[in-house]
């Protein structure tokens, strides 16, 4: 891969790659991504919801010009949904056809219906044996949602980049995919998984970086409003909330304010649109008009200093 | 030599070093990894190679890159980041300095492996001092205990309140507790297994069978949902009024932690402490010694509302996924007189599938829910059970296996 060789040349180039896709990364993240590419290790991203973990995989796929294969995890995820499944209806039809034609040889038949023609390829298998031959970016999203048995299975996949299908044999990736795993930390992921990965805690961005993100992602938001929005959100995160707003919420809120034709913050507008930032009634209730007014005042006086 | 670097690590790494022409840098990285290991980071010998590969990839031109590269390889938990950063700053300035600092740093960040050697002599010493206390049973002699205790002696022990036991009785009870289990009723999970009585047709197995058998009829195979016990989260009150019970019950909790997966334990008094990792050690004495080091508010006041609030904000989403059951062990006597407690208790009850309150005060016949703290929690719990002697612990399993005693105490409280 020419493109991956280029991007893996240095941390600076990785930073530029992410930047080129409008992902404003800090140097720590760029280093982790660079090492993941260079050392061919999975990248394990942990952090609160809405800080841009999933986005990294998308940006990498776009920037390196590779397909993105996404595996969304959920409780009870099994090999049939994650790796492969046999196409049973087609197999049955095949058997019926063979029977109807009369040329039925049972041992032959079992050989025929367990071939790749009847194989439904799920995300992990797609990532290990890509159809176009280009190793994709494999995004294993929200690993914490699944259960321990799947984690244990993943261990084999991540260390050897291979899966075993009893009827077909072992399928091994010629070139391993770029693996990005995300977790919202709704439970602890087993240390064995983490050990195989490069770990990065994705934190909330500082004010300057968040402002840059708002500028990039919502270019039609006026500069002064963007500064106030960022100043307000940054201060909101210092409060003791059940769920602090992520970057996704900041962007939503900026869009909401533009849609309402606001060019500056005022306590009433904040009260009306708080639902874009805070998603728990307790948190919304905790931001009383006095607190909102104080935050707005501070955000307007000195936006980028929390 | 930094304390705690295991011999295993030494051997593997030394052999590795010999094969390397990279000289001083490799050696320093190796020492750095050892230092981190001594400070409690779980780093195996393979991490040295990873670290070297990472350093080689980034180069040593820029200090910050060098640092982040090492961090990406060597840190795998957010909590370890501050330790890494302190160690990095010290080590890559002057390695000698660090070795002297390390001794001061050690007690704060207790390691998981490696430091057992340090703790065992302490235990031995303790055992010597404690010699007059009779019958602190060594491991593996529990069965003998059963034989030595007559039936009536056991009976008395079963029903005696922990708070009124002698040292000898407590030691016996502790030994019994170590073998206790808490079989929570299993719940169906989304994963399935082959079962003749299942509801979903297993097409894969059915097709396989139809290939083998030379018959025109194909029997159907079925799958059913697997069942497993739910995750358990124990919140144990360790304030002054609970002191004697808490010390005993932690033995029981230790047995639970090591009996099964998905158990998390937190203590609270004036603050909340997660002691799950400390309790993981198989040896109950080592585990409890670590807990004692980690918990700073033993036998102090109680601020239940504040602590439950902190739990709800910081931990509930991490620990209460997948239908967890919460055991709240507390007498409900709250220094804040129940301020804000009802709200937090309700939130806790709504975040878990079952909230079980174990209260030693319930042993009194004429127990009335007078204190404000108790009245605040009571309407929200699913089960309200006593926990003051062995019998109540044994009954616990039965009570939890049955249908919920659903908010029956609510009427009494009102």
Q: Based on the fold, state whether residues A106 and A59 are members of the same structural domain.
A: no
| Domain covering B232-413 assigned CATH 3.40.50.410 in the classification | yes
Distance between B27 CA and the closest CA of chain A, angstroms = 21
Reported as a single tens digit per residue, the pLDDT across A219-253 is 999 999 999 999 999 999 999 888 899 999 999 99
Residue A197 three-state SS: coil
Is there a contact between A306 and A234 (Cβ–Cβ < 8 Å)? yes
Where does chain B hold its CATH 3.40.50.410 domain(s)?
232-413
Reported as a single tens digit per residue, the pLDDT across A126-174 is 999 988 888 999 999 999 988 888 999 999 899 899 999 988 899 999 9
Q: Based on the fold, state whether residues A139 and A51 are members of the same structural domain.
A: yes
The pLDDT of B234-249, averaged and rounded, is 85
The pLDDT of B337-349, averaged and rounded, is 85
pLDDT at residue number B208: 79
What is the extent of the structural domain holding A242? 207-301
Q: Based on the fold, state whether residues A265 and A297 are members of the same structural domain.
A: yes
Cβ of A35 within 8 Å of Cβ of B54? The answer is yes
**Average pLDDT for chain A:** 89
Residue B278's contacts (CB-CB under 8 Å, 6 or more residues apart) are B110, B287, B290, B291, B293, B294
pLDDT at residue number A17: 92
Q: Based on the fold, state whether residues A64 and A9 are members of the same structural domain.
A: yes
Q: Looking at A189-198, B15-24, B288-297, B388-397, which range is the least confident one? A: B15-24
- Of A11, A88, A149, Cβ closest to residue B58: A11
d(CA A5, CA A34) in angstroms, rounded, equals: 11
d(CA B270, CA A216) in angstroms, rounded, equals: 46
B73 chain-A contacts, CB cut-off 8 A: 35, 198
Q: What is the number of H-type helices and E-type strands within chain B?
A: 20, 9
d(CA A247, CA B292) in angstroms, rounded, equals: 40
Q: Assess B159–A contact: CB distance below 8 Å, yes or no.
A: no
Q: Based on the fold, state whether residues A69 and A88 are members of the same structural domain.
A: no
Asked if the structure places residue A232 within a domain, the reply is yes
Q: Based on the fold, state whether residues A36 and A151 are members of the same structural domain.
A: yes
pLDDT at residue number B55: 87
- The candidate with the shortest Cα–Cα distance to A86, out of A55, A116, A43, A130, is A116
pLDDT at residue number B403: 59
A32 chain-B contacts, CB cut-off 8 A: 68, 72
The pLDDT of A6-13, averaged and rounded, is 78
Q: Predicted confidence band at B138 (pLDDT cuts at 50, 70, 90)? A: very low
Is there a contact between B331 and B359 (Cβ–Cβ < 8 Å)? yes
Please list the alpha-helical segments (H only) found in B188-296.
203-212, 243-259, 276-279, 284-294
DSSP annotation of B22 reads -
Two tokens, residue A96: 């019926």
Q: Predicted confidence band at B135 (pLDDT cuts at 50, 70, 90)? A: very low
Distance between B286 CA and the closest CA of chain A, angstroms = 22
Is there a contact between B390 and B364 (Cβ–Cβ < 8 Å)? no
Phi, psi (deg, nearest 5) at residue B246: -60, -45
Is there a contact between B396 and B359 (Cβ–Cβ < 8 Å)? no
pLDDT at residue number B152: 60
Distance (Å) of CA A277 to CA A185, A233, A240, A258, B89: 21, 8, 15, 15, 38
A197 chain-B contacts, CB cut-off 8 A: 76
Burial label, B27 (beta-carbon count in 10 A; 0-12, 13-18, 19+): middle
Reported as a single tens digit per residue, the pLDDT across A31-60 is 999 999 999 999 999 999 899 999 999 999
- The candidate with the shortest Cα–Cα distance to A129, out of A71, A173, A161, is A173
pLDDT at residue number A105: 67
Asked if the structure places residue A285 within a domain, the reply is yes
Residue for token pair 């507390």: B330
Higher pLDDT, B140 or B315: B315
pLDDT at residue number B209: 79
- Of B50, B77, B191, Cβ closest to residue A78: B191
pLDDT at B95 over 80: no
Two tokens, residue A285: 């209730």
Q: Based on the fold, state whether residues A105 and A223 are members of the same structural domain.
A: no
pLDDT at residue number B99: 58
Q: Based on the fold, state whether residues A193 and A259 are members of the same structural domain.
A: no
Higher pLDDT, A290 or B125: A290
| Cβ count near A201 (within 10 Å) | 20
Distance between B233 CA and the closest CA of chain A, angstroms = 12
- The candidate with the shortest Cα–Cα distance to A24, out of A66, A65, A56, is A56
d(CA A65, CA A137) in angstroms, rounded, equals: 10
Residue for token pair 């804040």: B336
Asked if the structure places residue A168 within a domain, the reply is no
d(CA A258, CA A252) in angstroms, rounded, equals: 10
Q: Based on the fold, state whether residues A140 and A67 are members of the same structural domain.
A: yes
Per-residue DSSP letters for B310-364? HIIIIIHHHHSTTT-EEEEE-----TTTTTTHHHHHHHHHHHSSEEEEE-GGGGS
Q: Assess B189–A contact: CB distance below 8 Å, yes or no.
A: yes
Q: Based on the fold, state whether residues A194 and A53 are members of the same structural domain.
A: yes
Two tokens, residue B12: 């593997």
CATH of the domain at A194: 3.40.50.300
Asked if the structure places residue A227 within a domain, the reply is yes
Q: Based on the fold, state whether residues A69 and A147 are members of the same structural domain.
A: yes
Residue A69 three-state SS: strand
Q: Predicted confidence band at B264 (pLDDT cuts at 50, 70, 90)? A: very high
Instruction: Provide the domain count of chain A.
Output: 3
Asked if the structure places residue A124 within a domain, the reply is no
Asked if the structure places residue A122 within a domain, the reply is no
Cβ of A194 within 8 Å of Cβ of B65? The answer is no
Strands laid side by side in the B187-194 sheet: B187-194, B222-228, B200-201
Q: Predicted confidence band at A6 (pLDDT cuts at 50, 70, 90)? A: low
Two tokens, residue B222: 């079925």
pLDDT at residue number A305: 67
User: Is this prediction's ipTM beyond 0.95?
Assistant: no
Residue A268's contacts (CB-CB under 8 Å, 6 or more residues apart) are none
Q: Based on the fold, state whether residues A95 and A221 are members of the same structural domain.
A: no
**Average pLDDT for chain B:** 74
Distance between A11 CA and the closest CA of chain B, angstroms = 7
Cβ of B211 within 8 Å of Cβ of A198? The answer is no
Is there a contact between A122 and A116 (Cβ–Cβ < 8 Å)? no
Is there a contact between A28 and A200 (Cβ–Cβ < 8 Å)? yes
β-pairing verdict for B222-228 and B232-237: unpaired
B207 chain-A contacts, CB cut-off 8 A: 86, 88, 91-92, 113
pLDDT at B123 over 80: no
Q: Looking at B152-156, B281-285, B386-390, which range is the least confident one? A: B152-156
- Which residue in chain B is spatially nearest to A89 when comparing CA positions? B203
- Mutate which: A39, A47, A146, A283, vs B, most B CBs within 10 A: A39
d(CA A201, CA B79) in angstroms, rounded, equals: 10
């Amino acid at each position: 891969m020419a493109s991956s060789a280029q991007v893996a040349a240095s941390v600076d180039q990785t930073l530029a790659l992410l930047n080129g896709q409008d992902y404003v990364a800090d140097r720590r993240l760029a280093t982790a991504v660079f090492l993941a590419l260079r050392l061919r290790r999975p990248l394990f991203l942990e952090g609160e919801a809405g800080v841009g973990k999933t986005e990294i995989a998308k940006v990498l796929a776009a920037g390196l010009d590779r397909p993105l294969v996404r595996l969304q995890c959920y409780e009870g995820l099994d090999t049939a949904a994650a790796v492969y499944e046999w196409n049973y209806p087609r197999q049955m039809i095949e058997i019926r056809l063979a029977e109807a034609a009369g040329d039925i040889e049972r041992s032959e038949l079992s050989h025929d219906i367990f071939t790749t023609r009847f194989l439904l390829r799920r995300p992990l298998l797609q990532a290990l044996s890509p159809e176009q031959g280009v190793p994709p970016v494999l995004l294993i999203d929200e690993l914490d949602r699944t259960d321990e048995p799947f984690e244990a299975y993943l261990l084999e996949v991540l260390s050897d980049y291979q899966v075993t299908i009893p009827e077909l044999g072992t399928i091994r990736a010629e070139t391993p995919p770029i693996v990005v795993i995300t977790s919202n930390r709704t439970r602890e992921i087993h240390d064995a998984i983490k050990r195989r990965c490069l770990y990065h805690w994705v934190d909330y961005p500082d004010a300057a970086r968040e402002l840059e993100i708002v500028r990039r992602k919502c270019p039609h938001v006026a500069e002064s409003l963007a500064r106030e929005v960022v100043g307000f959100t940054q201060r909101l995160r210092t409060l003791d909330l059940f769920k602090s707003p992520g970057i996704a919420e900041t962007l939503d809120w900026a869009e909401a304010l533009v849609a309402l034709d606001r060019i500056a913050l005022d306590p009433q507008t904040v009260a009306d649109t708080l639902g874009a930032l805070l998603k728990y009634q307790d948190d919304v209730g905790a931001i009383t008009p006095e607190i909102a007014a104080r935050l707005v005042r501070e955000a307007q006086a000195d936006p980028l200093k929390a | 030599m930094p304390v705690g670097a295991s011999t295993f690590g030494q051997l593997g790494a030394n052999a590795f070093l010999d094969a390397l022409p990279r000289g001083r840098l490799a050696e320093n990285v190796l020492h750095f990894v050892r230092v981190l290991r001594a400070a409690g980071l779980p780093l195996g010998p393979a991490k040295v190679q990873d670290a070297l590969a990472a350093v080689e990839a980034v180069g040593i031109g820029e200090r910050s890159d060098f640092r982040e590269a090492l961090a990406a390889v060597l840190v795998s938990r957010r909590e370890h980041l501050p330790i890494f950063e302190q160690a990095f700053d010290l080590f890559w300035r002057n390695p000698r300095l660090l070795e002297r600092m390390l001794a001061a740093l050690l007690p704060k960040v207790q390691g998981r492996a490696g430091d057992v050697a340090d703790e065992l002599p302490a235990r031995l010493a303790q055992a010597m001092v404690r010699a007059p206390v009779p019958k602190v049973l060594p491991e593996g002699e529990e069965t003998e205990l059963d034989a030595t205790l007559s039936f009536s002696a056991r009976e008395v022990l079963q029903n005696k309140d922990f708070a009124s036991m002698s040292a000898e009785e407590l030691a016996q009870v502790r030994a019994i507790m170590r073998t206790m289990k808490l079989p929570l009723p299993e719940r169906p999970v989304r994963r399935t297994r082959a079962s003749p009585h299942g509801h979903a047709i297993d097409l894969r197995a059915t097709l396989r069978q139809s290939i083998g058998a030379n018959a025109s009829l194909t029997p159907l195979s079925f799958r059913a949902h697997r069942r497993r016990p739910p995750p358990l989260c124990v919140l144990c009150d360790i304030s002054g009024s609970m002191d004697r019970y808490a010390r005993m019950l932690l033995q029981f909790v230790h047995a639970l932690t090591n009996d099964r997966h998905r158990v998390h334990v937190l203590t609270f008094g004036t603050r909340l402490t997660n002691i799950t990792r400390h309790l993981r050690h198989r040896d109950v004495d080592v585990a409890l010694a670590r807990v004692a080091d980690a918990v700073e508010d033993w036998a102090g006041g109680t601020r239940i509302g504040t602590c439950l609030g902190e739990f709800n904000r910081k931990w509930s989403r991490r620990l209460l996924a997948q239908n967890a059951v919460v055991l709240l062990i507390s007498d409900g006597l709250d220094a804040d007189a129940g301020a804000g407690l009802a709200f937090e208790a309700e939130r806790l009850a709504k975040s878990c599938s079952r909230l079980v309150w174990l209260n030693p005060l319930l042993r009194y016949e004429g127990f009335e829910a007078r204190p404000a703290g108790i009245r605040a929690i009571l309407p929200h719990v699913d089960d309200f059970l006593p926990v003051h002697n062995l019998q109540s612990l044994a009954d616990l399993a039965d009570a939890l296996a049955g249908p919920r005693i659903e908010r029956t105490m609510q009427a009494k409280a009102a």
